[in-house]
Amino acid sequence: MEVAGPWTEVFEASERTENSVGAETMLGSSTLTLAPLVPESPSIRHSQPILITSNRMKGVESFSSSVPSIPNPFPELCSPSKSPVLIGSLQPQSSNKHLIKVYGEDSHSRSVRVSRGATAREVCHMLVQTTHCSDQENWALLELHPSLGLERCLEDHEVVLEVQTTWSLKGDTRLMFCKNYAKYEFFRKPMLFFPESMISDSADVSKGMTSSELIQNLLKSGTCPEIQGFLHVKEPSRKSWKKVYFFLRRSGLYCSSKGSSKEPRHLQYVADLEDLNVYTVVNSRKLYGAPADFTFCIKPSRNLIRVQDLKILCADSEQIRTCWTSAFRLFKYGKQLHANYQLSKSASRILEGSSLTDGKSKSEANLVAMDFSGKAGGRVIQNPAEAQSAEMEEGQNWRRREALRCSLPNLNSAARPSSIHKTQLWFHGGVSRKEAQRLIEKQGLVDGMFLIRESQQHGQCFVLSLCYKLKIKHYLVIPFEEAGRKYYTMDDGLTLFIDLLQLVEFHQINKGILPVCLKHPCVCVAL
């Protein structure tokens, strides 16, 4: 059959058929018809998606209803809307959780999901649980700016995400998880951290008070004294440093334009304590040309870290720097800092009490000198001279017992190898003297903080680096031979140890030639 004009074949079972009246959908027929092509019809819109009408859906449903139903073998996996996919799996995660990255001292990192209001203390406890740390307290988060050489310990109550909002997106700023024993040490030994020469009451109404009373008021966040002293300050846009007399008061930080004068006309306002953070400067001689290594800086806490916003200051000693940085923290946070300290103490007491399953206490306050030589049982030695004599005698007895044990034939070199120190956390290999001091400073300048390292100047020797009164002392451990056996000693052979582990265990109980017993091993935290 011939058909004149352009035509196209259309199945009436398709989705739509055009006619002069409008679009009409025809279903259920399979006859073939011929429909003329209407050129440039305004009713045809090729760019629009095809709409499936309800009639077609009803037809599909009627078709599927004729098929026998198959029971669902996993009804618990289906949602109420008969979907095989769980609705909860398609929902986005809660927006109040945020992912932060925390680094360990081995440069490895761990990602932690925290809430929007998570504090530094809560993040530390979370990391302690996930890394299975044996010690629950004395952990801290450090805010590090490696390119600028800045670091500071976050306060326990600071919100971590709020701190991160002040970081530059292009910078190398990061958080580090490490030990910090000196976070509240000035509460325990205030006279060591606040020298009398730097304490003044001229700015307060409590005139006539002694330095110790002023310090107690400072620690209790009552009447704040005035911290004063000379500091080297780096002049802006210049490499030179200038020595200026500074005053730290509750109202802010001031400097004197004329020597150490406190007259109002000579005082210049420097910074507001409520809106600044204090940082310790690392490698300040190389980065900023500081006259000494005891450098710190202050910066507005709500601004991004920029070099032009840093106020870099340098002290003449570690005690002076620690006094200034501690006073900045106390003046800024006041009672909140004391509350953090009380919370830390209560938590440590609970942990200490729960760990006394063997009947022994880890607290030095519970160790007393006892005399068991009498027949009536032990007695407490109250005379200090007698207690010191008993300590020396016990040490000599311990030394003789250890020497006898080492001379037994069944004790060979394989039973206790001389390299056993390499497995201990307090051994740091061949780190330099400067790096050892840096490690101890980072974990806190508290009495008894120590580590052992290989000597770089004396072959086969070791060095014990120990902190005492905010200073780090270094003691040489030399090998010593006696009766064909190799020992280690720090007092020219008076006290001998078969290895470094025995040396550490001895000095954790007895001071010996050291100014204080070994208490806190300096360890590198790995995440």
b/e 464-486 (16+ beta carbons within 10 angstroms → b): bbbbbebebeebebeebeeeeee
Does the pLDDT at position 368 exceed 80? no
Percentage, residues of the chain above pLDDT 70: 67
Phi, psi of 389 (to 5 degrees): -65, -40
Tokens of 227: 């911290």
Does the pLDDT at position 122 exceed 70? yes
pLDDT at 155: 94
- DSSP-assigned states of every residue in 16-70: -EE-SS-EE---S---EEEEE--TT-TT--TTSPPPPPHHHHHHHHHHHHTSPP-
The per-residue pLDDT of the chain, averaged, comes to: 76
Condensed to tens digits (0 to 9), the pLDDT of residues 490-527 reads 998 888 999 999 999 999 999 999 999 999 999 887 77
Q: Which CATH number fits domain 185-340: 3.30.70.20, 2.60.120.10, 3.30.1360.120, 2.30.29.30?
A: 2.30.29.30
b/e 221-231 (16+ beta carbons within 10 angstroms → b): beebbbbbbeb
As a whole number of angstroms, the distance between CA 417 and CA 386 comes to 37
Provide the pLDDT confidence category of residue 86 given band limits of 50, 70 and 90. Answer: very low
Domain over 97-179 is classified CATH 3.10.20.90: yes
Provide the pLDDT confidence category of residue 77 given band limits of 50, 70 and 90. Answer: low
Does the pLDDT at position 215 exceed 70? no
Query: Mean pLDDT across the stretch 440-453?
Result: 93
As a whole number of angstroms, the distance between CA 432 and CA 445 comes to 18
| Predicted model pTM | 0.67
- Residues paired with 179 in a beta bridge: 139
C-alpha radius of gyration, the chain, whole number:
37
Would you list the domain boundaries of the chain?
Answer: 7-41+52-62, 97-179, 185-340, 419-527
Residue among 188, 142, 226 at smallest CA distance from 438: 142
Condensed to tens digits (0 to 9), the pLDDT of residues 15-48 reads 444 444 444 444 344 444 444 444 554 555 555 5
Residue 220 CB coordination number (10 Å): 13
Fold of 419-527: SHC Adaptor Protein (3.30.505)
Condensed to tens digits (0 to 9), the pLDDT of residues 274-332 reads 888 999 999 999 999 999 999 999 988 877 777 778 899 999 999 999 999 999 998 88
The sign of the CA dihedral 30, 31, 37, 40 is: negative
